[in-house]
């Protein structure tokens, strides 16, 4: 798995590929094909609250971004595609969300 994707221009497809590799062990999924953009974390992938915490931590470490501490992942990020979009936005800002919130 690629660690700390540079915050340069990264395509959604590249983010999806890395996210799929990140999610496979957390959600006990063998094939990245299961982790398609429309797959819902709770309903389709049986992600529980503990898995979601693990996902947030893995995303922060793997993509070098900081997610808002008030982010309720189940409410705001329902699908793998939602997560890709959030990561893409955060990386496009070129700085962590915490720093952005302070300015």
pLDDT digits (tens, 9 = 90+) for 43-91: 999 998 899 889 999 999 999 998 876 656 667 889 999 999 999 999 8
Q: Residue 82 contacts by C-beta under 8 Å, 6 or more apart in sequence?
A: 76
Assign 64 to helix, strand or coil: coil
Q: CA-CA distances (angstroms) from residue 89 to 56, 65, 67, 80? A: 15, 10, 11, 14
Out of 1-5, 14-18, 21-25, 65-69, least confident range = 1-5
Q: Could you give all domains of the chain from N- to C-terminal order, each with its CATH number?
A: 12-102 (1.10.1200.10)
Do 20 and 81 form a contact (C-beta atoms < 8 A)? Answer: no
Q: Can you tell me the distance from the alpha carbon of 1 to that of 22, in angstroms, rounded to the nearest whole number?
A: 7
pLDDT value, residue 71: 59
């Amino acid at each position: 798995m690629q660690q700390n994707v540079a915050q340069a221009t990264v395509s959604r497809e590249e983010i999806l590929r890395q996210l799929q590799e990140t999610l496979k062990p957390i959600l006990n999924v063998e094939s990245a094909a299961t982790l398609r953009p429309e797959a819902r974390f709770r309903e389709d992938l049986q992600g529980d609250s503990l898995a979601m915490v693990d996902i947030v931590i893995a995303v922060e470490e793997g993509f070098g971004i900081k997610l808002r501490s008030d982010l309720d992942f189940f409410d705001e990020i329902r699908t793998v595609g939602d997560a890709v979009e959030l990561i893409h936005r955060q990386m496009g800002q070129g700085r962590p969300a915490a720093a952005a919130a302070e300015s």
